[in-house]
Amino acid sequence: MTPVTPVSLRCAHLDNPLGIAPDRVRFSWQLAGGGLQQAYQLQVIQNGRVFHPAPTPVWDSGLTHSADCADVPYGGPPLTSGGRYAWRVRVWDPAGTESAWSDPATFEVELGPADWTASWIGLGALREHFGPPSQPGRPDPVAMALRPAPHLRRSFTLAGPVASARLHVTALGLYEARLNGQRVGDAYLSPGWTDYDQRVLYQSYDVTGLLRAGENVLGALLGDGWYCGFVGFDAKRAGGHYGGSPELLAQLDITLADGSAVRVVSDAEWTGRSGAIEHADLLMGERHDLRLALPGWDSPDGRAGEGCDGTGWRPVLCRERDGRVLAADPGVPVRVTAEVAPASVSRTADGTHLVDFGQNLTGWLRIRASGPAGASVTVRHAEVLDADGRLYTENLRTARQADSYVLAGGPAVLEPHFTVHGFRYAEVTGYPGEPGPGDIVARVAHSDTPATGAFESSEPWLDQLFRNIDWGQRGNFISVPTDCPQRDERLGWLGDAQIFARTACYNRDVAAFYAKWLDDVTEAQLPSGAFPDIAPRLNFPGAGAPAWGDAGVIVPWTAWKMYGDRGVLERHYGAMTAWMDFIERGNPDYLRSRELGHSYNDWLSPGSDETPHPLVASAYWAHDAALMAEVADAIGRPGDAARYRELRAKIGAAFAAAFVDAAGHLASGTQTAYVLGLHLELIPEGSRAAAAGHLVAAIRAADWHLTTGFVGVGYLLPALSSTGHTDVAYRLLAQRTFPSWRYMIDQGATTIWERWDGWSQEHGFQSAWMNSFNHYSLGSVGEWLYRFVLGIDQEPGTAGFGRLLLRPHPGGPLDRAQGSYQSARGLIRAGWERAGGRFTYRVEVPPNAVASVHVPSADPAGVRDAAGGHPAAVAEHPGLAGAGAAVFAVGPGRHEFSGPDSQASR
Ligand code: BGC
């Protein structure tokens, strides 16, 4: 047998982070070679990676009896700010066999306030150029607000070769750091969006290889970004949302080969000017005049006379650091994760090129063009076309999403720096000649959260739905989880985030992404304890609505559930309890009918939204209380857990008294009322089956259509499946007429729409006022595909996928489904097929995990594993009326089970 070895070492969900706050230092690893872990030993050393001959570790956990391999907190003496550490781990299996030590991994600790000597620098509000000319005589307020991107530079000389160097850098606004003519790192839209009035994230880069003895140039381009550009739907305030003009903060710490230290910081020594970027704005787009480019401005080898020391360069405005917190970025950078070639390029009658990328995505175009100086190329972006085959941009509201370029003569690569668009189609005006292969490409950009989920089935439309859900996530995870990536909104709406969170975690590794955003959520909390509707809060006042504010409990709980991350719970526990106290103060009768903020209720449910607001609100409050009890238990607060269970019982009783009758009917009778009641277990046990029957009746009454909006949709199919109605769940899933997921797909959707009827055959486009074609909320059905169709789930009450519950729910038109989830412990695979009257389920359990496998069958006792082994037990299958399940207990490895199909008569 292969010996067990710890691999994939990560600190705070990141690979070898170069800047991590000391209180976030928590370790995780996976086991290669299968097997279980009974104990581990972890060692941390400072300065250097060589453990042998061993320096004295700053922390040695000693042999620790625990199966934990995720979220193991550092337990040594305080870590030094800016310190460099290496760590390694070894494990013992249940037989007491010791593994080899892992390869070392590293982490570097966040700088403390005293470690910063840099100052904020910028150029103030540059006014050299304005945006595209507006109509004569009518000033264009948008163009008036747009400004050129500052170029900032500083040259310095190093006396000898460099041993190591770190660039710590951030901006109020966005930055692109340059060193000796090269881009530093591959991130975009850095430093990301936080409430800049309180906290600014900075990034650290290893720039050792970019420096040299002799002259060097450190430079930066700045964009307005979320700090002082257009954001959200309220017109930008005169001074921007947070400030008036972008500023840079940079600190380059160099160790020379002779051991001496050199530091270069942003200070009054820098100079700056504008260049080719006439404006750059997240919502509006970018405009470049390449004739104004500054060749070599960021390099000592450039034509310094023209680019750097000639006219236009002037001393920067410099000010001391203020009270804002500077924090190492705990999240993941926005990166270009794919390039998409056009599916088609066609010439329109007026001579423009219409490019279809075949996929609604988020990013921008890179264009190669060659044309005369002064020629201009303009790109407009849209998600859909109108009836005449032209870009439909009305739904963008005031967001222009247009990039334009004036050529300098000769070949050029046209690409924006500081903007992002949501689009499937682009209209390119003024392209000189005909673009050849590779001349126009879409670059897909989003927070770099690697895929962890896969799904494939016998139905192509279902696979398309799965892809649409994932594309919706990619397009909307951009520093914060946004509602949509295209119109003048793009805000971190909490309601959308919570309903989609579990799906998001299955689809992609969002552990570090949520770690970052949950700080935004807590930071946006009101003094009353109310979580907000959006985070960062921007200037959106008031308490969060039911199902929106509740994200402050649900998303941390989800991160714990999926990643075993107790750290996130400890970090936010105070904020979560303050939210619970806020609701309870306002609603002493345990019905949540007050302090409902904007109460969006079951937002965008098709038809009229008749579910009583206090029903939705109280259901979510009960949910919070149940989750808080689990949270308190997970972080060792049994007293609090008992208190939250008691609270949950009181809300449950008040809910039942107010909204449920003896025959299991729920007030209003909407699908969402039943879905919430059932899924959140708010219906007395004795009435549950009857209530599930009423839900099915409500669906039948809608001619087998759903009527759920954002709040009900995520729980709809799970509620059906956990009450024996998986057949109805499949019926809704496969429904082709409006409203349904498949209806969107039949209309050509490649992402998830905001509204069930974003476009319909009868009415065309929904109101342009609110009609995004890339909104992930209704994609929260993804969770059901993983947990129910494939059956990749966990034993109730457990977290981090150490104890799996693999229980598939076959049904509907599917002959087979297979997929996987890359969990904290490793890859989980599950797939089933039905053929020749037999049902076969194949699974793979990762190392250091055990699984209870429930194989549905018409004759559970007749199910066998691949070796002919009998089930350990026979149980009911709660999701499939009429089927039982053969139960097997298995450990790491691949397993196959087969038995008489529960639907052999199909
Ligand atoms: C957003 C939603 C959000 C909602 C609040 C909309 O404008 O796009 O996704 O949750 O407002 O009701």
C-alpha dist (Å) from residue 827 to 451, 506, 546, 888? 12, 12, 36, 19
Q: What is the 3-state secondary structure (H, E, C) of 764-776?
A: EECCHHHCCCCCC
The pick from 493, 600, 771, 772 for probing ligand 1's pocket by mutation, whose C-beta has the most ligand atoms within 8 angstroms, reads 493
- The 3 state secondary structure assigned to 157-212 is EECCCEEEEEEEEEEECEEEEEECCEECCCCECECCCCCCCCEEEEEEEECHHHCC
Percent of the chain with pLDDT over 90: 91
- The residue whose CA is least distant from atom 5 of ligand 1 is 600
What is the per-residue pLDDT across 752-804, written as a single tens digit (0 to 9) for each? 999 999 999 899 999 999 999 999 999 999 999 999 999 999 999 999 999 99
The whole-number pLDDT of residue 51 equals 83
d(CA 317, CA 311): 18
Question: For atom 4 of ligand 1, which residue has the closest CA?
Answer: 493
Please say if the pLDDT value at position 679 is more than 80. Answer: yes
> Which is the closest atom of ligand 1 to the Cα of 603?
12
- Alpha carbon nearest to ligand 1 atom 6, residue: 483
**Torsions phi, psi of 673, nearest 5?**
-60, -45
Q: Whose CA is nearest to atom 8 of ligand 1?
A: 483
Q: Which two tokens stand for residue 888?
A: 């097997």
CA of 568 to the centre of ligand 1 (A): 26
Q: Which residue has the tokens 């969002």?
A: 510
Rounded to 5°, angle at Cα 376 from 372 and 382: 145
**How far does the centroid of ligand 1 lie from the alpha carbon of residue 493, in Å?**
7
Instruction: Please state the atom number of ligand 1 nearest to the C-alpha of residue 484.
Output: 8
- Please name which of 798, 811, 804 lies closest in space to residue 826, comparing C-alpha atoms: 804
List the residue whose alpha carbon is closest to atom 9 of ligand 1: 483
Which tens digit of pLDDT belongs to each residue from 539-561?
788 999 999 999 999 999 999 99
802-839 pLDDT tens trace: 999 999 999 999 999 999 999 999 999 999 999 999 99
Atom of ligand 1 nearest to the CA of 495: 10
What's the gap in Å between 604 CA and the centre of ligand 1? 9
Question: Does position 868 have pLDDT exceeding 80, yes or no?
Answer: yes
Can you tell me the distance from the alpha carbon of 364 to that of 670, in angstroms, rounded to the nearest whole number?
A: 42
Residue nearest to atom 12 of ligand 1 (CA): 600
pLDDT of residue 144: 82
| Comparison of pLDDT for 794 and 239, the residue scoring more | 794
Model confidence over 445-503: pLDDT tens digits?
Answer: 999 999 999 999 999 999 999 999 999 999 999 999 999 999 999 999 999 999 999 99
Which residues neighbour 189 within 8 Å (Cβ) at sequence distance 6 or greater? Answer: 174, 225, 282, 334, 418, 420, 445, 478, 479
pLDDT tens, position by position, 166-216: 999 999 999 999 999 999 999 999 999 999 999 999 999 999 999 999 999
**Residue 397 Cα, ligand 1 centroid: separation in angstroms?**
14
213-251: b (≥16 Cβ within 10 Å) or e: eeebbbbbbbbbbbbbbbbbbeebeeebbbbbbbbbbbb
* Mutate-to-test residue for ligand 1 from 482, 600, 769, 770, highest number of ligand atoms within 8 A of CB: 600
Ligand 1 atom with the shortest distance to the CA of 483 = 9
482 alpha carbon – ligand 1 mean position (Å): 10
Q: CB under 6 Å to ligand 1: residues?
A: 483-484, 489, 493, 495-496, 600, 603, 775
The distance of Cα 212 from the centroid of its chain, to the nearest Å, equals 38
pLDDT, averaged across the chain: 95
The whole-number pLDDT of residue 304 equals: 47
pLDDT at position 238: 59
Per residue in 513-541, pLDDT (tens digit) is 999 999 999 999 999 999 999 999 987 88
pLDDT class for 906, splitting at 50, 70, 90?
very low
Residue nearest to atom 3 of ligand 1 (CA): 493
Q: Tell me: pLDDT of 891 over 50.
A: yes
Measured in Å, residue 660 CA sits from the centre of ligand 1 at 29
Q: Which atom of ligand 1 is nearest to the CA of 494?
A: 10
User: What residue owns the CA closest to ligand 1's atom 2?
Assistant: 483
Pocket test for ligand 1, best of 231, 398, 483, 500 (most atoms within 8 A of CB): 483
What is the DSSP secondary-structure string of 581-611? HHHHHH-TTS---S--TT---STT-SS---S
Q: Say what the pLDDT of residue 625 is.
A: 98
Ligand 1 nearest-atom number relative to CA 600: 12
Q: State the closest ligand 1 atom to the C-alpha of 777, by its place in the atom list counted from 1.
A: 9
- 738 three-state secondary structure: coil
Ligand 1 atom closest to Cα of residue 493: 10
Query: Beta partners for 821?
Result: 453, 828
The 3-state secondary structure of 612-630 reads: CHHHHHHHHHHHHHHHHHH
> How high is the pLDDT of residue 311?
67
The pLDDT of residue 320 is: 96
pLDDT of residue 541: 83
Tell how far the Cα of 771 is from the centroid of ligand 1, in angstroms. 11
Taking a C-beta distance cutoff of 8 angstroms, is the pair 772, 484 a contact? yes
Tell me the pLDDT tens digit for each residue of 869-880.
999 999 999 999
Residue 161 pLDDT exceeds 60 = yes
pLDDT of 350 > 90? The answer is: no
> Pocket of ligand 1, candidates 538, 602, 603, 604: which has the most ligand atoms within 8 Å of its Cβ, to mutate?
603
Instruction: Determine the pLDDT at residue 129.
Output: 44
Ligand 1: residue whose CA is nearest its atom 1: 483
754 catalytic per annotation: yes
Q: How far is the CA of 822 from the centre of ligand 1 (A)?
A: 31
Q: Which atom of ligand 1 is nearest to the CA of 548?
A: 10
Of 110, 176, 523, 754, catalytic: 754
The greatest distance separating any two alpha carbons of the chain, rounded to the nearest whole angstrom, comes to 86
Higher pLDDT, 483 or 134: 483
How would DSSP label each residue in 507-528?
Answer: HB--HHHHHHHHHHHHHT--TT
d(Cα 265, Cα 116) in Å, to the nearest integer?
9
Distance 475 CA to ligand 1 centre (A): 16
pLDDT of residue 306: 47
Distance, CA of 397 to CA of 767 (rounded, Å): 11
Centroid of ligand 1 to alpha carbon of 581 (angstroms): 26
* 840 DSSP assignment: E
Q: Active-site residue among 489, 523, 595, 783? A: 489
The pLDDT value recorded for residue 52 is 75
- CB-neighbour burial class of residue 318 (10 A; exposed 0-12, middle 13-18, buried 19+): middle
pTM for the full predicted model: 0.96
Q: Give the whole-number percent of the chain exceeding pLDDT 70.
A: 96
pLDDT tens-place string over residues 91-114: 999 999 999 999 999 999 999 999
- In tens, the pLDDT along 357-378 reads 999 999 999 999 999 999 999 9
**292-327: pLDDT as tens digits:** 999 999 999 755 444 455 568 999 999 999 989 999
Is residue 646 flagged as an active site residue? no
- Enter the tokens of residue 321: 């650091």
Q: How far is the CA of 777 from the centre of ligand 1 (A)?
A: 10
